[in-house]
């Protein structure tokens, strides 16, 4: 019997695995070239028996680089036909598929990828392959929360609680630095609970009660947040520090101990099985405080878990709807007090904001949450614009004050977050529709009319609120331009400056100016633990991309003035980075941005557009003069920006394909 002849595999391995038609082009087929995948073919018998030096590492590297450059040339030359998309490309509008840890992941379109598509150097940065031998050393943040462990029988919460005077001092730091930024707790009630707890600790002879675990978790998180807000240089002495202990080691040791105490307290409080207002507040506050240091995958997953726990606790339903006696099975049951109602509203909207930040940082669409709230729907309404002292127990009247209160800054953030969520989840409307402009104008008008008009720049917290509103408006307008207006107005042509392109440049310039003014104010220094530098990055990317492609010699008078003002805004911006022994991917990306800015500076100087062809900040030149290879696009989307991709995330077919 004649043995069956094995069929020769001519399709590439990826198309064969997906069972789609392969064009069989080499070195990359059309499908892989279009979607940016690595195209590999099964070796033929002739190739297997050949004597090519496959084991030669230099040959492999040369072949890989040659294949990459050939694919880039093919893309730039428009070699891939767009009239007949390959089978299976219908999902390309839903986002981009990247392979991470040998598993495909769908990442929704990103504002970063739109900007990267405009500059070839950014393409190289995003498309760089990760060499396992020269890979950057991964800097692991502090261990994240582990809520799926059994309670440690040796854990005694009283061993981690500082003495009352020290706790009061840390609580005052929390009120000064953390509470104005993230408003969850009701301060008079929490202070009373602290005093009662310490009295209980002194009377029960160290006998621990499970019923207090939820409050202990919240207390530990408050102390953790206070320590996190302190810089390494700021003075803080625990009760019995070692003389030879460095301040950084002392602070990190205290944070690690508190982190373990938070984890054990949440497990003992049964957060996942029997959540309470205290335990959910503790988990939410911890995620908010650590959103800059926790790696994004963990933060994204824990935020999703917290969102489910909050829903199981019915935080997504307004307390007024839950307290409706017509809905309560036991009519004699008392409704929520005014304090509990406000805390529930605050907590829910912080969780919603966290979900939006972490989802966009992860590169996926946020949880679908309705924009309209109570009383139009059952969804939880925004908290009232009032101080904690103005909340009267069991009061039902509306106490939204037309003035600046402790809640104003948070309410500005929540309104902007809801507006950003609506822009991100709204599909591109047909030509001539003003839906997007109405959404933008409505958000800006609400923030200005209800909150910003009552703020005065003479007060530090009110100044932060004003700048937060301005930064949010500039980001909203840049999102609208990049996602909805740029291609429609024909501004992809570098020689044409439409009105929307001019406004986008002005918004980017104003964003940088506002952010720099905020950082320069010494009264705002206590909020630097939370104020991100990534707001500055959005505007810098936009300006650099514009100035790296235009011909300054042929600009009209007003456009030339605008571009020169935009350059002066970013010319000497000091790009700060964390001082660490390891060269992290984030630091290398910022170094890349700095070097790219210097290339634009040299280009403008050569065109005699500016008078100085060098930067006044030369520290970066010595510290970061290394190649940028080895930074992978998925890592950028997932872990670099601490949740701030939320401000510029887009979804659907708005994202450009870097491949």
Ranking 97-101, 239-243, 462-466 by mean pLDDT, the lowest is 239-243
Which tokens is 225 given?
A: 């947040």
Ranking 222-236, 410-424, 439-453, 494-508 by mean pLDDT, the lowest is 222-236
Give the pLDDT score at 648.
31
Contact 386, 405 (CB under 8 A): yes
CA–centroid distance for 569 within its chain? 24
Give the pLDDT score at 96.
53
Give the pLDDT score at 154.
87
Give the pLDDT score at 644.
33
Q: What angle do CA 268, 269, 271 make, to 5 degrees?
A: 115
Greater confidence (487 vs 545) lies with 545
* DSSP 8-class letter at 330: S
Q: What is the pLDDT of residues 327-372, one digit of tens each?
A: 555 554 556 888 999 999 999 999 999 888 787 667 676 777 777 7
Q: Which residues contact 522 (CB under 8 A, 6 or more apart)?
A: none
Spell out the alpha helix ranges (H) of 230-337: 247-268, 277-289, 296-312, 319-322
Q: Can you tell me the mean pLDDT for 194-203?
A: 80
Give the pLDDT score at 179.
93
Q: Give the integer Cα–Cα distance in Å for 641 and 292.
A: 8
CA atoms within 13 A on the CB side of 344: 24
* DSSP 8-class letter at 105: E
Which tokens is 202 given?
A: 């002194």
Give the pLDDT score at 488.
74
Greater confidence (200 vs 265) lies with 265
Q: Is 5 exposed, middle or buried (0-12, 13-18, 19+ CB in 10 A)?
A: exposed
Which tokens is 566 given?
A: 């935009």
Residue 206 has pLDDT above 50, yes or no: no
Q: Is 561 exposed, middle or buried (0-12, 13-18, 19+ CB in 10 A)?
A: exposed
Q: Give the integer Cα–Cα distance in Å for 644 and 420.
A: 12
pLDDT over 90, % of the chain: 22
Residue 107 β-bridge partners: 96
Helix (H) or strand (E) holding 349: helix 338-362
Q: Can you tell me the mean pLDDT for 108-134?
A: 46
Contact 601, 613 (CB under 8 A): yes
Contact 500, 526 (CB under 8 A): no
Helix then strand count (H, E) for the chain reads 23, 2
Residue 624 has pLDDT above 70, yes or no: no
Residue 252 has pLDDT above 70, yes or no: yes
Structural domain boundaries of the chain? 155-238+245-290, 295-421, 455-654
Q: What is the pLDDT of residues 22-77, one digit of tens each?
A: 888 888 888 888 777 888 888 765 544 444 544 556 677 777 777 777 766 665 65
Q: Which residue reads 């995003």 in tokens?
A: 126
Contact 448, 220 (CB under 8 A): no
Q: Give the integer Cα–Cα distance in Å for 281 and 381.
A: 18
- How does the average pLDDT of the chain come out, rounded? 73
Give the pLDDT score at 104.
55
Residue 316 has pLDDT above 80, yes or no: yes
Q: What is the pLDDT of residues 452-465, one digit of tens each?
A: 999 998 888 898 89
Q: What is the DSSP string of 491-522?
A: TTSTT---HHHHHHHHHHHHHHHHHHHHHH-G
Contact 491, 498 (CB under 8 A): yes
Contact 651, 363 (CB under 8 A): no
pLDDT over 70, % of the chain: 65
């Amino acid at each position: 019997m004649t043995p069956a002849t094995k069929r020769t595999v001519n399709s590439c391995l990826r198309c064969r695995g997906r069972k789609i038609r392969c064009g069989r082009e080499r070195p990359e087929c059309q499908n892989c070239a279009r979607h940016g995948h690595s195209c590999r073919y099964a070796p033929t018998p002739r190739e297997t028996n050949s004597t090519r030096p496959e084991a030669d590492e230099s040959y492999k590297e040369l072949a890989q680089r040659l294949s990459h450059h050939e694919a880039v040339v093919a893309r730039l030359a428009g070699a891939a036909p767009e009239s007949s998309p390959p089978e299976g490309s219908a999902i390309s509008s839903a986002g981009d598929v990247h392979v991470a840890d040998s598993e495909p992941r769908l990442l929704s379109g990103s504002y970063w990828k739109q900007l990267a598509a405009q500059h070839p150097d950014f393409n190289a940065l995003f498309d760089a392959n990760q060499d396992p031998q020269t890979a950057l050393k991964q800097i692991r943040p502090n261990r994240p929360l582990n809520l799926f462990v059994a309670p440690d029988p040796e854990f005694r919460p009283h061993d981690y609680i500082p003495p009352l005077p020290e706790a009061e001092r840390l609580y005052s730091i929390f009120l000064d630095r953390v509470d104005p930024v993230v408003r969850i707790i009701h301060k008079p009630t929490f202070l009373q609970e602290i005093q009662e707890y310490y009295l209980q600790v002194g009377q029960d002879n160290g006998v621990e009660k499970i019923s207090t675990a939820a409050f202990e978790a919240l207390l530990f998180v408050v102390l953790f947040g206070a320590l996190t807000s302190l810089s390494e240089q700021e003075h803080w002495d625990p009760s019995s520090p070692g003389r030879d202990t460095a301040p950084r080691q002392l602070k990190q040791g205290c944070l690690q101990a508190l982190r373990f105490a938070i984890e054990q307290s949440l497990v003992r409080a049964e957060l996942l099985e029997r959540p309470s207002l205290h335990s959910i507040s503790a988990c939410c506050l911890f995620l908010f405080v650590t959103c800059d240091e926790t790696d994004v995958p963990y933060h994204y997953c824990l935020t999703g878990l917290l969102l489910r726990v909050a829903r199981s606790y019915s935080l997504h339903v307004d307390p007024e709807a839950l307290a409706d006696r017509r809905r309560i099975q036991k009519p004699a049951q008392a409704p929520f007090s005014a304090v509990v109602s406000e805390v529930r509203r605050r907590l829910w909207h912080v969780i919603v904001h966290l979900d939006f930040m972490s989802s966009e940082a992860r590169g996926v669409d946020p949880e679908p949450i309705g924009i309209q709230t109570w009383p139009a729907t059952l969804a939880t309404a925004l908290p009232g614009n009032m101080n904690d002292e103005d909340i009267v127990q069991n009061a039902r009247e509306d106490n939204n004050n037309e003035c600046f209160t402790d809640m104003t800054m948070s309410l500005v953030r929540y309104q902007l977050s809801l507006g950003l969520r609506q822009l991100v989840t709204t599909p591109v409307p047909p030509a001539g529709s003003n839906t997007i402009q109405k959404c933008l104008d409505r958000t800006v008008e609400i923030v200005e009319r209800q909150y910003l008009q009552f703020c005065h720049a003479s007060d530090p917290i009110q100044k932060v609120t004003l700048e937060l509103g301005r930064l949010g408006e500039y980001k909203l307008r840049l999102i609208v331009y990049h996602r909805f207006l740029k291609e429609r107005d024909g501004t992809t042509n570098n020689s044409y400056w439409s009105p929307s392109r001019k406004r986008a440049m002005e918004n980017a310039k104003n964003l940088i100016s506002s952010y720099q003014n905020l950082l320069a104010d010494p009264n705002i220094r206590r909020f630097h633990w939370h104020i991100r530098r990534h707001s500055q990055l959005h505007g810098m990317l936009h300006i650099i991309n514009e100035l790296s492609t235009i011909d300054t010699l042929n600009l009209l008078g007003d456009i030339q003035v605008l571009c020169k003002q935009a350059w002066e805004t970013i010319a000497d911006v000091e790009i700060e980075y964390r001082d660490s022994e390891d060269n992290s991917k984030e630091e290398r990306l910022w170094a890349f941005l700095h070097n790219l800015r210097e290339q634009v500076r040299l280009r403008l100087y050569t065109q005699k557009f500016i008078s100085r062809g060098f930067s006044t900040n030369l520290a970066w030149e010595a510290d970061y003069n290394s190649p940028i290879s080895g930074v992978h696009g998925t890592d950028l989307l997932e872990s670099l920006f601490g949740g701030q991709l939320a401000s510029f995330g887009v979804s659907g077919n708005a994202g450009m394909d870097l491949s």
